[in-house]
Amino acid sequence: MIELKNLHKRLGGRDILKGLSVKVPKGMNFVLMGPSGTGKSVTLKHVIGIFKPDLGSVHVDGQDVPAMDRKQLMALRKRMGYLFQNGALINWLSVADNVALPLKEHSQLSRSEVDDRVHEVLKLVGMDHAGKQEPPEISGGMKLRAGLARALVTNPEYVLYDEPNAGLDPIISEQIHELIGEVRDRLSVTGLIVTHSRACATQCGDRIGILEAGKLAVEGSVDEITASDHPLARAFMGQGSD
Ligand X SMILES: Nc1ncnc2c1ncn2[C@@H]1O[C@H](COP(=O)(O)OP(=O)(O)OP(=O)(O)O)[C@@H](O)[C@H]1O
38 binds, among ligand X, Mg ion, none (CB under 5 to 8 A by kind): ligand X
**For 130, what's the count of Cα atoms within 13 Å in the CB-facing half-sphere?**
24
Q: What is the 3 state secondary structure string of 111-127?
A: HHHHHHHHHHHHHHCCC
Q: How far apart are CA 189 and CA 184, in angstroms?
A: 5
- Report the residue from 4, 7, 16, 99 that binds ligand X according to the rule CB under 6 A: 16
Of 36 and 91, CB closest to ligand X: 36
CB of 38 to Mg ion, least distance (A): 9
**For 82, what's the count of Cα atoms within 13 Å in the CB-facing half-sphere?**
18
Of 39 and 164, CB closest to ligand X: 39
Dihedral sign of CA atoms 49, 178, 1, 114 in order: negative
> Per CB under 5 A, which of residues 60..99 are in contact with Mg ion?
none
> Per CB under 6 A, which of residues 122..181 are in contact with ligand X?
none
- Per DSSP, the three-state class of 144 is helix
Q: Identify the CA nearest to 185 among candidates 210, 166, 203, 171.
A: 203
One-letter amino acid at 132 equals K
DSSP for 35-65, written as a single string: STTSSHHHHHHHHTTSS--SEEEEEETTEEG
Of 38 and 203, CB closest to ligand X: 38
Question: Which residues are CB-contacts of 11 (< 8 A; sequence separation ≥ 6)?
Answer: 42
CB of 236 to Mg ion, least distance (A): 15
Of 27 and 140, CB closest to Mg ion: 140
CA dist list (Å): 12 to 9, 16, 149, 214: 10, 9, 33, 15
> Per CB under 5 A, which of residues 35..54 are in contact with Mg ion?
41
Stretch that binds ligand X, among 34-42, 70-78, 185-193, 199-207 (CB under 6 A): 34-42
Q: How far apart are CA 189 and CA 187, in angstroms?
A: 5
Of 162 and 206, CB closest to ligand X: 162
Cβ-proximal residue to Mg ion, closest one: 41
Q: How far apart are CA 17 and CA 10, in angstroms?
A: 7
For residues 37 to 76, the per-residue mask of contacts with ligand X, x marking binding by CB under 6 A and - elsewhere, is xxxxxx----------------------------------
Of 163 and 206, CB closest to ligand X: 163
CB of 17 to ligand X, least distance (A): 9
CB of 121 to ligand X, least distance (A): 26
231 binds, among Mg ion, ligand X, none (CB under 5 to 8 A by kind): none
Site of interaction with ligand X (CB under 6 A) = 11-12, 16, 34, 36-42
Site of interaction with Mg ion (CB under 5 A) = 41
